[in-house]
C-alpha cells in the first residue's frame, strides 16, 4: 500500500500548489490567503473558505486597495497599484495632495516624501525640503520633512517611490532610509514610479476598476499662494475625473474634512452622492465608541446632511462579547441611521501574534493571531454589513468576497 500512500501525497501536494489558481488569469491571489486560511481554527468558516480555495475568484468592489498593495510594494506607486489590480481589487485609492505648481499627485500626506521616496538622495531636490535631514543625537531622533508642495510636478515625477519607513537612529541619509518594518519587505523597493492623480485615473480606467481618491488635509497655509482655496482644491479633484470622462458612479470621493463632503454634496451632487466621510470623531475629547450621545455630529445628522457612506477604522465597528467578535454600538447606529459602511484598513498591522495594535484595539484578546483577519472580515461582511474593506494586500479581501459574497454583487460591469 506504499504506492497508494505516495499517490495520495502527490495529489495533496498538487492540490495545495494549485489552491489559489483562478479560472480568470487576470486575478492572481498568491499564497497569502491560503496561509491565513490554514491559520483559522476548525469550524464552519474554515470549511466554507476551504471549499473556495480553487476559486473562481471575482473582481470585487468589496476589495478596496489601500494605497495599492503597500504590504509589499511602495505605496501609491504604479507597481503597487498594478499589484492590487492583479489581486482582484475592484476599487483603488489615490490619496491626493498637491505640488508647488498646484498639480494633484498621489501621496498619503503632503509632507511624507522624506519617508516614501528617495528625495533625500537627490541633493538638488533635498535642498528644497521644508526641513533638511538631521542625524540622530542623544535623545533626539533622526528627522527630515519633505513635502510635495516643496517641489514641482516635474520634480515629483522624477522621484523613485520607496517603502514607507525610516530609521530614527540614523547617522546618515542612507541609514535613515533603511527603515522598512521587518514584517514588510524591501524586495520590490526598486525605483517604483510615483503617480500623479491623472495617471492614477488613466491606470484604473484602463483596468476597468473604480476609484476612491482621498483629499488630504493640506500641510501648508490655505489659501495656498494667496488664491488656491480649500474649495478650489476640492473642485480640482472632481474636475480631473470630469476631464477624463469618468462617470460619477465610478468614483468614491473621500475626506476626513467634513466641510469637503458638504462642498461636494452641494456643488457636485452626482459625485457627492457616494462621497465617503472618513470618520475621525474618535479624536474628539469625550468620544466613547460605545456611547452614541458622545458622537458629534450624530449618525442621524450625517444622514440628514445627505451623507450616504461613512468609513471608520476597523476597531470602531467591532467588539468582543462572550469570546466572539460582534458588531459594536457604532456599527449598529450607523446602519440604523441608513448609512453604508466602509472599513479601514486590513493587512496594515504587524503579525497579530505580536499583539493587537491600534486597528484592533477593541479586540484585545481575540486579535491574537493572523487567523483573526478572516474572522474579522466575516463579521464585517455578514454581521456589520459593510460594503467594502480597505486592505494593504487586496488578495485577502478578494479571496473572502469571492467565496462568501454573491458573485453578481462582486463582478465589475
- Report the C-alpha gap between 186 and 166 in whole angstroms: 12
282 inside domain: yes
pLDDT of residue 91: 98
What distance separates the 2 farthest-apart alpha carbons in the chain?
A: 84
Residue 286 clears pLDDT 70, i.e. is over it? yes
Residue 254 clears pLDDT 90, i.e. is over it? yes
Q: By mean pLDDT, which of 61-75, 112-126, 140-154, 399-413 is the weakest?
A: 399-413
Closest CA to 355 of 345, 367, 343: 367
Q: Which residues pair with 311 in a beta bridge?
A: 278
Q: By mean pLDDT, which of 4-13, 110-119, 165-174 is the weakest?
A: 4-13
By residue count, the chain amounts to 413
pLDDT of residue 2: 36
Percent of the chain with pLDDT over 90: 91
243 inside domain: yes
- Report the C-alpha gap between 74 and 222 in whole angstroms: 29
Percent of the chain with pLDDT over 70: 92
pLDDT of residue 406: 77
- Mean pLDDT computed over 187-211: 98
Domain carrying residue 246:
44-109+194-409
Q: By mean pLDDT, which of 21-25, 139-143, 296-300, 310-314 is the weakest?
A: 21-25
pLDDT of residue 25: 64
343 inside domain: yes
Q: By mean pLDDT, which of 2-6, 30-34, 206-210 is the weakest?
A: 2-6
Selected residue with higher pLDDT from 371 and 376 = 376
Selected residue with higher pLDDT from 108 and 406 = 108
SS3 327: strand
| Domain count along the chain | 1
- Mean pLDDT computed over 130-155: 99
Residue 80: which CATH number? 3.20.20.190
- Report the C-alpha gap between 360 and 346 in whole angstroms: 10
Residue 296 clears pLDDT 60, i.e. is over it? yes
Q: Which residues contact 78 (CB under 8 A, 6 or more apart)?
A: 192, 193, 195, 199, 203
- Reported as a single tens digit per residue, the pLDDT across 37-90 is 999 999 999 999 999 999 999 999 999 999 999 999 999 999 999 999 999 999
159 inside domain: no
Residue 346 clears pLDDT 60, i.e. is over it? yes
377 inside domain: yes
Mean pLDDT of the chain: 93
Question: Contact, 48 vs 171, CB < 8 A?
Answer: no
pLDDT of residue 348: 97
Residue 3 confidence class, pLDDT cut points 50, 70, 90: very low
Residue 10 confidence class, pLDDT cut points 50, 70, 90: very low
Question: Contact, 73 vs 79, CB < 8 A?
Answer: yes
324 inside domain: yes
Phi/psi for 160 (5° steps) reads -105, 125
Residue 337 confidence class, pLDDT cut points 50, 70, 90: very high
276 inside domain: yes
19 inside domain: no
Q: Is 212 left (phi over 0), alpha (psi -120 to 50) or beta?
A: beta
Amino acid at each position: 500500500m506504499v504506492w497508494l500512500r505516495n499517490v495520495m501525497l502527490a495529489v495533496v501536494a498538487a492540490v495545495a500548489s494549485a489552491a489559489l489558481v483562478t479560472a480568470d488569469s487576470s486575478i492572481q491571489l498568491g499564497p497569502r490567503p491560503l496561509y491565513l486560511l490554514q491559520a483559522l481554527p476548525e469550524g464552519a468558516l474554515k470549511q466554507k473558505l476551504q471549499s473556495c480555495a480553487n476559486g473562481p475568484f471575482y473582481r470585487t468592489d468589496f476589495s478596496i486597495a489601500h494605497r495599492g498593495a503597500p504590504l509589499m510594494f511602495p505605496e501609491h506607486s504604479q507597481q503597487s497599484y498594478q499589484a492590487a489590480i492583479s489581486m482582484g481589487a475592484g476599487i483603488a485609492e489615490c490619496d491626493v495632495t498637491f505640488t508647488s505648481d498646484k498639480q494633484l499627485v498621489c501621496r498619503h500626506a503632503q509632507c511624507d516624501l522624506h519617508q516614501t521616496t528617495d528625495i533625500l538622495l537627490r541633493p538638488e531636490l533635498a535642498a528644497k525640503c521644508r526641513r533638511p535631514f538631521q542625524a540622530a543625537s542623544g535623545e533626539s531622533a533622526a528627522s527630515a520633512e519633505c513635502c510635495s508642495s516643496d517641489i514641482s510636478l516635474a520634480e515629483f515625477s522624477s522621484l523613485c517611490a520607496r517603502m514607507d519607513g525610516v530609521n530614527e537612529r540614523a547617522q546618515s541619509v542612507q541609514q535613515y532610509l533603511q527603515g522598512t518594518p521587518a514584517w514588510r519587505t524591501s524586495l520590490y523597493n526598486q525605483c517604483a514610479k510615483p503617480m500623479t492623480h491623472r495617471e492614477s485615473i488613466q491606470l484604473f480606467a484602463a483596468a476597468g476598476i473604480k476609484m476612491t481618491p482621498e483629499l488630504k488635509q493640506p500641510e501648508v497655509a490655505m489659501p495656498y499662494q494667496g488664491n488656491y482655496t480649500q474649495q478650489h482644491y476640492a473642485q480640482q479633484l472632481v474636475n480631473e475625473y470630469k476631464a477624463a470622462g469618468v462617470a460619477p458612479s465610478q468614483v468614491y470621493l473621500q475626506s476626513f474634512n467634513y466641510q469637503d463632503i458638504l462642498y461636494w454634496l452641494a456643488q457636485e451632487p452626482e459625485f457627492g452622492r457616494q462621497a465617503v466621510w472618513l470618520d475621525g470623531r474618535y479624536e474628539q475629547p469625550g468620544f466613547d465608541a460605545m456611547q452614541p450621545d458622545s458622537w458629534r455630529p450624530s449618525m442621524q445628522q450625517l444622514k440628514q446632511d445627505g451623507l450616504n457612506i461613512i468609513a471608520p477604522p476597523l476597531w470602531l465597528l467591532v467588539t468582543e462579547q462572550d469570546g466572539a467578535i460582534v458588531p459594536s454600538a457604532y456599527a449598529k447606529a450607523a446602519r440604523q441611521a441608513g448609512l453604508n459602511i466602509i472599513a479601514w484598513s486590513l493587512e496594515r498591522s504587524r503579525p497579530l501574534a505580536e499583539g493587537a495594535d491600534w486597528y484592533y484595539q477593541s479586540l484585545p484578546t481575540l486579535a491574537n493571531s493572523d487567523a483573526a483577519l478572516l474572522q474579522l472580515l466575516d463579521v464585517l461582511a455578514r454581521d456589520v454589513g459593510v460594503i467594502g474593506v480597505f486592505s494593504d494586500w487586496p488578495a485577502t479581501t478578494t479571496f473572502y468576497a469571492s467565496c462568501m459574497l454573491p458573485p453578481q454583487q462582486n463582478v465589475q460591469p
